[in-house]
């Protein structure tokens, strides 16, 4: 257990700091507005050294979770459908995760900024079910490069550098997060030097901002994929030549330029390149209308054919303007290939139900976004065993994906995903259209800038010129710094500066890298992952990280009956990665 005991959500006591009560400090550097003063490191007293022998914790405490439970155990609980079997501390720096089924993506899953590790004693004192004040949301006690200094509701969140951070020391002495729902306000604040960076540049402002020599404007790669699909059970899409003709007869570059916002990348693969092994194998077909017409002629459709295109009317991150995109595709197919397309707007739920049920006999527009950064998430769900969204699965694609999912060897996984991507291309299972990104901007004198496709940037490496504070503006105020219950990127961005998990994502990609864990290694069949923790890591209150903190941090999220579970918390990141809760309550 940690020096002051254990656990997880890393929450800071603000001892002596009343949220919202700190007075603003003087103007810093050439900022155009006052910036709040930073709380001194003495706000956190040093913890006493841990005493006594380490007593390893496990969850469940009384044995394994009932994997694939055949039926509900009683009237008040549902059957267990989660992936975890047991979590156990082996010694102070070793924790073992036993799984119900093999999972090659474990490291990618635990790289989420929501799956943070918290000190046990802090959680016991501050959680809803504990003996202290139920205020984890405003009292994070993390292990990250910054600690919470003040949260002035409706105005800003201030973080101060943690001088005891176990990694590279943060460059700026403080970060101040501000927010505005006005899409024009952030860029104006940046122009006025009131902030050092903004999360989003409105698409219509990108061109002008890029011409400003005082700004550093950069694209943020998108992780979502928008695609044009069909079901190969229906003619004429049962003919591979027709599918290949569509793949090469659609000018996707022109489509993206005319119908998508600035920051969108033409998709060469189904996965974005920021995902490890996302872009291995051959690029997608280039635009070649002559070859496409020749393929249609050989398939018996020299004069084209008539079909429908189903799409949703409301925008999604992967389809920012579905009616416009659908109309542009219909126009291209008519002009390039003589294919007449009747447009069919549909409610999202209805379209998804018909696609999943194999009832769409024409074209359709849809998309997806990975919940965690592993190539298996999107590829297995759309093209793997049991998936018939695009018609009967292709045996060579399924085998390649099975091979990739059965080994943690990075070289073997890359080779398998290359085969899978090449086979998806060969069979023209669908047409990947676009990875929709966005644009960020910083003052030109900010150094150390990296832009993560996850939207969660590593601000500890950012140096705002000669200023001690780094000010950042995003669209919304964080909802909470109880990070395991966070879902929106504006909240997770703040969380990631304060709290840490076993793994994190690379500063410039979505590749998982060790964080609190030195490494996590799997057994041969990928059902047991053993993680070795970095030694000597301290929470902001001085408590020492140990394996029991990891066990309890996961147990509170996993077990719906855990006594320290936060009231009303949904723990969405956990269920998206590891399935259902242990002891799930009927009706919630």
Q: What is the pLDDT of residue 137?
A: 83
- Are 549 and 561 in a shared domain? yes
Q: What is the pLDDT of residue 129?
A: 55
Structure tokens given for 331: 């126009």
Which of 21-25, 60-64, 467-471, 524-528 is the least confident region?
21-25
Assigned domain for 454 exists: yes
Q: What is the pLDDT of residue 9?
A: 31
In this structure, how many other beta carbons lie within 10 angstroms of the beta carbon of residue 332? Answer: 21
Which of 128-137, 252-261, 262-271, 297-306 is the least confident region?
128-137
Residue 561 reports pLDDT greater than 60: yes
- Are 376 and 455 in a shared domain? no
Residue 338 reports pLDDT greater than 60: yes
Using pLDDT thresholds of 50, 70 and 90, give the confidence band for residue 134.
low
Strand partners, 549: none
Assigned domain for 478 exists: yes
- CATH code at position 248: 3.10.105.10
- Residue 586: phi and psi, rounded to 5, are -65, 130
* Portion of the chain with pLDDT greater than 70, in percent: 90
- Are 572 and 473 in a shared domain? yes
Assigned domain for 144 exists: yes
Q: Directed axis angle between helix 375-383 and helix 410-427, to 10°?
A: 40
| Residue 557 DSSP SS3 | helix
How high does pLDDT run on average in the chain? 90
- Are 267 and 322 in a shared domain? yes
Residue 130 reports pLDDT greater than 90: no
- Are 231 and 135 in a shared domain? no
Q: pLDDT (tens digit, 9 = 90+) per residue, 402-422?
A: 999 999 999 999 999 999 999
- Are 88 and 189 in a shared domain? yes
- Are 298 and 370 in a shared domain? yes
Pairing of strands 512-514, 517-522: unpaired
Q: pLDDT (tens digit, 9 = 90+) per residue, 551-560?
A: 999 999 999 9
- Are 139 and 193 in a shared domain? yes
Assigned domain for 245 exists: yes
**Could you check whether the bond before residue 284 is cis, i.e. omega within 30 degrees of 0?**
no
* 8 A C-beta contact, residue 370 and residue 377: yes
Note down the domain range covering 312: 225-436
Q: What is the pLDDT of residue 138?
A: 87
Q: What is the pLDDT of residue 568?
A: 79
Residue 353 reports pLDDT greater than 80: yes
- Are 84 and 170 in a shared domain? yes
Q: What is the pLDDT of residue 40?
A: 36
Residue with tokens 């018996």: 300
Query: What value does the mean pLDDT take over residues 217-226?
Result: 95
Q: What is the pLDDT of residue 52?
A: 60
- Are 452 and 379 in a shared domain? no
Query: What value does the mean pLDDT take over residues 440-452?
Result: 97
Assigned domain for 17 exists: no
Strand partners, 363: 309
Query: What value does the mean pLDDT take over residues 6-33?
Result: 32
Higher pLDDT, 32 or 304: 304
Boundary (domain end) residue, out of 371, 402, 436: 436
Boundary (domain end) residue, out of 402, 436, 470: 436
Boundary (domain end) residue, out of 386, 419, 436: 436
Whole-number Cα distances in Å, 559 to 73, 275, 427, 507, 530:
15, 30, 44, 32, 21
Chain centroid offset of residue 425 CA: 26
Assigned domain for 8 exists: no
- Are 367 and 471 in a shared domain? no
| Total number of domains in the chain | 2
Distance CA 386, CA 430 (A): 17
Which of 5-19, 212-226, 559-573 is the least confident region?
5-19
Per-position DSSP letters for 367-425, written without gaps between them: EE--SSS-HHHHHHHHHSTT--TTSSPPHHHHHHHHHHHT---HHHHHHHHHHHHHHHH
Q: pLDDT (tens digit, 9 = 90+) per residue, 33-64?
A: 333 333 333 333 333 344 468 899 999 999 99
Most confident listed range (48-62, 97-111, 120-134): 97-111
Which of 105-109, 123-127, 216-220, 523-527 is the least confident region?
123-127
Assigned domain for 150 exists: yes
- Are 76 and 154 in a shared domain? yes
Distance CA 291, CA 564 (A): 63
Query: What value does the mean pLDDT take over residues 345-364?
Result: 96
Most confident listed range (111-125, 131-145, 239-253): 239-253
- CATH code at position 546: 3.40.190.10
Chain centroid offset of residue 176 CA: 23
**pTM above the 0.85 mark?**
yes
Assigned domain for 18 exists: no
């Amino acid at each position: 257990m940690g020096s002051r005991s254990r656990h997880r959500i890393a929450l800071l006591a603000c001892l002596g700091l009343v949220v919202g009560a700190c007075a603003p400090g003087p103007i810093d550097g050439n900022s155009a507005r006052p910036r709040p003063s930073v709380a001194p490191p003495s706000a956190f007293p040093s913890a006493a050294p841990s005493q006594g022998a380490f007593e390893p914790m496990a969850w469940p405490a009384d044995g394994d979770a009932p994997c694939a439970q055949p039926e509900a155990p009683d009237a008040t609980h549902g059957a267990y459908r989660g992936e975890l079997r047991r979590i156990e501390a082996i010694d102070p720096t070793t924790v073992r995760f036993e799984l119900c089924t093999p999972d090659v993506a474990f490291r990618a899953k635990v790289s989420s900024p929501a799956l943070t590790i918290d000190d046990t004693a802090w959680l016991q004192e501050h959680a809803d079910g504990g003996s202290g004040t139920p205020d984890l949301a405003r009292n994070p006690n993390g292990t990250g490069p910054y600690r919470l200094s003040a949260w002035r509701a409706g105005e800003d969140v201030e973080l101060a550098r943690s001088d005891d951070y176990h990694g590279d020391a943060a460059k700026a002495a403080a970060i101040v997060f501000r927010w505005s729902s006005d899409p024009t306000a952030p860029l104006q604040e940046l122009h006025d030097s009131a902030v050092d960076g903004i999360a989003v540049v409105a698409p219509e402002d990108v061109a002008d901002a890029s011409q400003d020599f005082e700004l550093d404007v950069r694209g943020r790669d998108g992780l979502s994929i928008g695609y044009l699909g069909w079901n190969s059970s229906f003619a004429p899409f049962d003919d591979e030549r027709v599918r290949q003709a569509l793949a090469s007869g659609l000018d996707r570059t022109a489509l993206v330029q005319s119908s998508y916002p600035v920051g969108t990348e033409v998709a060469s693969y189904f996965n974005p390149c920021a995902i490890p092994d996302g872009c291995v194998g051959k690029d997608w077909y280039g635009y070649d209308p002559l070859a496409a017409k020749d393929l249609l002629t050989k398939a018996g459709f020299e004069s084209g054919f008539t079909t429908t295109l189903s799409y949703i009317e409301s925008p999604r991150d992967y389809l920012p303007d579905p009616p416009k995109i659908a109309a542009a595709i219909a126009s291209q197919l008519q002009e390039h290939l003589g294919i007449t397309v009747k447009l069919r707007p549909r409610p999202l739920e209805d379209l998804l139900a018909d696609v999943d049920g194999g009832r769409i006999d024409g074209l359709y527009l849809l998309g997806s976004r990975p919940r965690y950064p592993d190539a298996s998430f999107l590829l297995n769900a759309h093209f793997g065993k049991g998936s018939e969204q695009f018609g009967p699965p292709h045996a060579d694609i399924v085998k390649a994906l099975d091979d990739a999912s059965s080994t943690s060897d990075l070289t073997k996984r890359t080779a398998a995903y290359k085969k899978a991507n090449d086979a998806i291309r060969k069979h023209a299972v669908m047409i990947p259209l676009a990875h929709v990104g966005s644009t960020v901007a910083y003052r030109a004198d900010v150094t150390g800038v990296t832009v993560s496709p996850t939207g969660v940037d590593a601000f500890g490496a950012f140096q705002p010129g000669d200023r001690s504070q780094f000010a950042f503006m995003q669209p919304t105020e964080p909802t909470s710094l109880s990070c395991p219950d966070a879902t929106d990127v504006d909240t997770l961005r703040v969380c990631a500066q304060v709290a840490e998990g076993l793994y994190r994502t690379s500063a410039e990609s979505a590749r998982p890298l060790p964080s609190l864990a030195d490494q996590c290694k799997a057994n041969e069949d990928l059902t047991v992952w053993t993680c070795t923790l970095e030694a000597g890591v301290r929470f902001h209150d001085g408590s020492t990280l140990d394996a029991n903190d990891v066990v309890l941090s996961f147990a509170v999220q996993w077990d719906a009956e855990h006594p320290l579970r936060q009231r009303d918390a949904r723990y969405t990141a956990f269920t998206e990665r590891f399935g259902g809760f242990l002891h799930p309550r009927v009706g919630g």
